[in-house]
Structures are given as structure tokens and as C-alpha cells.
Amino acid sequence: MFDLFKVILPALALMLAVQTASAEPDELSRTLINEPFSMMEWGCRETALKVDDWIKIISSRLANITARADCAYDWDTDRINIRIKLAYSPPNDESRLNRAELKKFMTSCYTITSSGKTYLTDFFSHGGFVTKNLNYTPELKQQLMGKFQISFVLLNPDITLAKEQDGKLVFFDIRDNRISE
């Protein structure tokens, strides 16, 4: 009988430990679990991550410039906006960002991002097994590519430096004391 307690007591303790360790999702977790995630949201998220990777490579070559990308769908314009946000931190108060260097940086980022639009359209589809999927024809991919809008913004203050218009990068004439000629 003593041997039976040696086996039963540890088994009961283990069952109680396992039972108390399990929990169910609370109301907030259930709400988040049940909230659908759209292909547009997924595509914008993945696009921002990929463009961010691309511009980090380019910005690593420039001193005092950091760049981040974000991507969001704009309902009003029916565009997928890729914003490349630039922050300039001069080594001292006297330093200014060279306009030619800034334009070269923005042109490099734009060239890589615009030529990568075909690649970016792949983020707006399922990558694995699905029961229903959009039939991504070349025409549909072309239509999606036309929705991308690329712009560059200098942070602090928020100034648009360049924006894609009619398939070209258009620079704005910005008079800012942080940018030299």
C-alpha cells in the first residue's frame, strides 16, 4: 500500500500542476484572434519591411543619415503609399546635409524601390496553401504596381523632399537650413 502512495501522489501533483498551468484566452486575446488580417494589410507590412531593408543598405554608406520606410494604403487616393522617412543628425551644429548627396541617396532608393515594384506585388498574395486565392494575372500585377506611390520625407520638421509623379521622382525645392547647396 505504501508503494501505491509513492506512485499516486506524484501523479496527482503532476495532474494538478498541468491543470493550473493551462489557461484560456481572455476577452482581449479572443478579440485579437478573431480579427481578420487583410491581404492589403499584409502586403503593406511586408512591403515596408522589404523597402526598409533596401534603404538601410544604401543609407549605411552615408554619414549622419538614417532612413526608415513605412507603407500604408490610402482610401482617399486609392494608392499604396511608400514613405521613406529621412532623419539627419549632424555631428555638430555647423554641419549641414549636402543637397547633391541627398538627391543621390533619394534617387538610389527610388530606383531600387520602383524597379522592385514587380517583386513587391508578390507580398499582396498568400504564400502558402489557401482554399481561395486571387488569380494574379500579369494584368492584375500591373494594376497593383500602378497603385504604389513613393515619397521621401525629411523628419523634424516633416518636409516632403521628393515624390513620385507619373513614374518619375520629382524633387521639391526645399529651403531648409539643414541642407546646403
Smallest CA-to-CA distance from 150 within 109, 97, 95 is with 109
pLDDT tens for each residue of 8-54: 766 666 676 655 555 788 888 888 888 888 889 988 999 999 888 88
> With bands split at pLDDT 50, 70 and 90, how would you rate the model's confidence at 132?
low
> Is the four-CA dihedral 166, 167, 168, 171 of positive or negative sign?
positive
Do residues 170 and 164 touch, judged by C-beta distance below 8 A?
A: yes
> With bands split at pLDDT 50, 70 and 90, how would you rate the model's confidence at 63?
low
CA dihedral 16, 20, 21, 22 (to 10 degrees): 110
pTM over 0.95? The answer is no
11 phi and psi angles, rounded to 5 deg: -65, -40
Task: Please give the grid coordinates belonging to residue 22.
Answer: 493551462
134 phi and psi angles, rounded to 5 deg: -65, 145
Q: Is the pLDDT of residue 151 over 80?
A: yes
Q: What is the structure's pLDDT at 44?
A: 92
- In 82-180, which residue ranges form alpha helices assigned H by DSSP? 99-115, 117-121, 138-145
